[in-house]
A and B are shown apart, each in its own frame.
Chain A
């Protein structure tokens, strides 16, 4: 069982639609990061959130860290084909231990 569960696992949407990806756990994390990974490449960091309730925006992407620091969400507005990829959340706890989520594979259809 993964410590961080992401939903949905797969998402296929039309260009211009909005979507939300969830990252949930029963554990508390000291910080949480979101990455995007494209085929044949390593994950690329999108954002780090550290404070419960924190909201960060990166252009059309909005990230939120849950008040209890157990969960997070990623909302994309007006999705574009360039947003296609594998989205991974990763939480840090227990002194530099990193736990990656199960991943959400997003396909944006032109």
Chain B
């Protein structure tokens, strides 16, 4: 158990809809990272938050947004969903903002777009 909690575990929805994925980091971790994992693209870095502030942006689409709240949990919002958004979405957390710190991954949310 990594200590990182992601909900829901599975999400099935239709094209054009909007969903929110939630992540609770390990106790004491201030950084939250979001990743997308699909069969054709592999694991792609989306965005990094540290203590409520955005630190780095990766391959995140404009239809996607994220935030980290004062209690340090984070949400990833996906809107105008397309079939190609079907993937596993992972959240990871680490103590500080530095890239070299170990990241602890949750078990992911599997998003299926019908």
Chain A contacts to B: CB under 8 angstroms: 2, 30-31, 33, 40-45, 48, 50, 88, 90, 92, 94-103
Contacts and interface: CB of A to CB of B under 8 A. Distances in A.
Given A96-B56, A98-B58, A100-B35, 20 more contacts: A30-B99, A30-B100, A31-B100, A33-B103, A40-B107, A41-B107, A42-B2, A42-B4, A43-B43, A43-B105, A44-B105, A45-B102, A92-B99, A95-B56, A96-B55, A98-B99, A99-B45, A100-B44, A103-B42, A103-B43
Interface residues of B, number: 24
A31 B106 CA distance: 22
A96 B100 CA distance: 9
B99 A31 contact: yes
B56 A42 contact: no
Contacts of B108: 41-42
Interface string B90-105: 1010000101101111
* Overall SS of chain B's interface: strand
Contact of A101 (B42, B48, B56, B105): B42
Contact of B56 (A30, A48, A97): A97
